[in-house]
Structure 1
Amino acid sequence: MTHEHIVTTDENKKRIDKLLSEINPEASRSQIQTWITKEHVFVNDELVKANYKCHTDDKITWSIPEVEPLKIEAENIPLSIIYEDSDVIVVNKPRGMVVHPSAGHRSGSLVNALLYHCNDLSGINGVERPGIVHRIDKDTSGLLVVAKNDSAHTNLAEQLSSKEIERKYIAIVHGEISHETGMIDAPIGRDPKDRQKMGIVDDGKPAITHFYVISRYDDYTHVECQLETGRTHQIRVHMRYIGHPLVGDPKYGPRKTMDINGQALHAKVLGFTHPRTKEWVHFEVEPPTYFNEVLTTIEKMY
């Protein structure tokens, strides 16, 4: 399918790759540069380079190339399974593992491990994300529920949408939070200045995070965060927004933070209504060793 756009006066002198990234918010700027390199983009019926500066009334035409599906291989990777039946699997995802394969992570994902463990995952999210109802970041550890059939998947997705699933995280953040509790209500979307990040943007999707202070230190706070919505990087973006970025966060943290190979964030609590029995099920797992070591290090500072 071919798309068309006429450059407006406000868009005059804007780079073609930047303009197309604004028109196609679901595509990263690097993806758009690949479209240009592979000759999927034309300006006034001529090929251009990614640094081409548009002119008012230029006619841009482009086609979005079909994504070649990844071949997902089952891999014998150990899994920490907290609960399993014929409908769902609840896993404690280790830190450093991505949830599903992508162009940069074709193997070693939770999906690769799940496919080895069982062959009855739901197909609603396609071959690349079988069973995946929700995600947590690569360097975030903790609880995830995976659907083993489409009926369970649909039910869990509806619970997510209606905010019925309980999800509580613990985190270590920079700065001493003075309030015992708080709610952050700020919309999240792609950061217009950096397409690889999320940010607080006026036209973003609604996002609400509740936080509760567990313990305070002179320059750090140990908090529990409860998600009301589940936007990409929500806790990391929201805590940065209120001036308390997560310790170790390479994307949203301060320049000077602890080098702990990722953010100090753990999905500790997960609760939902079982899709078949309709009974409320609740799971809780303690954080990995590194998390408590960070707290110990902080305690020794004072």
Structure 2
Amino acid sequence: MDTRFTLHFIAEKEGQLLREALTEWRISKRALTAIKFDGGLLTVNDVERNVRHPLHVGDRVEVKFPPEEKSEGLAVEHGELAITFEDEAILVLNKPAHQSTIPSREHPTLSVANLVCGHFQKQGLASTAHIVTRLDRDTSGLLCIAKHAHIHHLTGLAQRNGEISRQYEAIVHGHVAQDIQSIIAPIGRKETSIIEREVREDGQFAHTDVTVLRHFYLHDEPMTHIQLKLHTGRTHQIRVHMAYVGHPLVGDALYGGSRNHINRQALHCVSLKMLHPLTGECLHFTSDLNEDMQQLLNDSLA
């Protein structure tokens, strides 16, 4: 059985070259190169054609992408995935805390990417894990994975156009004074660390919206339950921005938070909105807070 990822289109412009039509259908130059040299196929009305072929209105165009190979450092592993949504194009997962999105030297196994490769293998997909919305190891909640390089290309375009929206909830130290605020401050890597980030003038533009949900006390310590919307996706963005305004995330030891109440940063992706990369359908996924964060909120009411 041919497991290559395949898309179908109908020509709408008389005399248009196949190359021009493929560009309008958002097939990248990189994908066309891979199709030509790595085992893909372009057909018009079931006949193989090259990109210089002129189309007629109503022609049926089939694009077969070559099989994908995972990187050598990505081991195929099998394990449990909390799947929120899946179709032929994307996979949306509810990631637990303490699980890496991709393998690292410190945590080489059982990452989301490793398990997704195992999931794809069971399905017989000639594909690898393409992370669309990445989460830090200790951040829980929704993340999206593209099931093919072309889908990853489309979701990348969507992200650059602001068409993928993520909302988070967090618990931070102190009582945040402003009910609604926007933090616009550039983020770059701290010169003394390969992991830590900081707000710095030469950093990349970063924009986070913050809304206060509730002020409370936990064992006489002031805390705030907040909702956050990301407009950019910089590494550690929420953690850096909240520490920058004097309210580090509870449990975030790297950026000044205390682990007296929770053993990871209290951060969860609760909402993911996007247009389906193939159908254009509006998709909206939600996720309840993890038990450890919910317990913090419950303890504050006790």
**Same fold per TM (> 0.5)?**
yes
Aligned equivalent of 1:251, options 251, 254, 260: 254
Identify unmatched segments of 5+ residues in structure 2.
1-70
Matched residue, 2:231: 228
Measured against aligned partners, the alpha-carbon deviations of 1:20-61 in whole angstroms (never above 9, x if no partner) come to xxxxxxxxxxxxxxxxxxxxxxxxxxxxxxxxxxxxxxxxxx
Matched residue, 1:296: 298
Measured against aligned partners, the alpha-carbon deviations of 1:63-119 in whole angstroms (never above 9, x if no partner) come to xxxxxx653222221010000000000000111100011222210100111111114
Query: CA distance change for structure 1 residues 70 and 102 in 2, over 3 Å: closer, same or farther?
Result: farther
**CA contact 1:122–1:153 (8 Å) conserved in 2:** no
**CA contact 2:120–2:127 (8 Å) conserved in 1:** no
Say if 2:218 is the partner of 1:242.
Answer: no
How far apart in 1 are the matches of 2:80 and 2:198? 35
Matched residue, 2:161: 162
Matched residue, 1:101: 103
Say if 2:216 is the partner of 1:217.
Answer: yes
| TM-score normalised to structure 1 length | 0.71
How far apart in 1 are the matches of 2:101 and 2:132? 11
Matched residue, 2:81: 79
* Letter in structure 1 aligned against 2:278: R
Measured against aligned partners, the alpha-carbon deviations of 1:254-295 in whole angstroms (never above 9, x if no partner) come to 4x4434221000000001010111111000010111111111
Taking every aligned residue pair, what percent have the same amino acid on both sides?
Answer: 39
Say if 2:176 is the partner of 1:187.
Answer: no
How many correspondences in the alignment? 225
Identify unmatched segments of 5+ residues in structure 1.
1-68, 124-129
How far apart in 2 are the matches of 1:264 and 1:121? 37
Measured against aligned partners, the alpha-carbon deviations of 1:222-259 in whole angstroms (never above 9, x if no partner) come to 000000000000000000000110000021124x4434
| TM-score normalised to structure 2 length | 0.71
How far apart in 2 are the matches of 1:163 and 1:203? 23
Aligned-residue offset at 1:166: 0.9
* Letter in structure 1 aligned against 2:136: D
Say if 2:151 is the partner of 1:148.
Answer: no
Query: CA distance change for structure 1 residues 122 and 163 in 2, over 3 Å: closer, same or farther?
Result: farther
Aligned-residue offset at 1:205: 0.4
Q: How does 1:1-302 map onto structure 2 within 5 Å?
A: 70-119=72-121, 120=125, 130-218=129-217, 219-254=222-257, 256-300=258-302
What value does the CA root-mean-square deviation take over the aligned residues? 1.5
Query: CA distance change for structure 1 residues 239 and 122 in 2, over 3 Å: closer, same or farther?
Result: farther
**CA contact 1:190–1:197 (8 Å) conserved in 2:** yes
**CA contact 1:96–1:140 (8 Å) conserved in 2:** yes
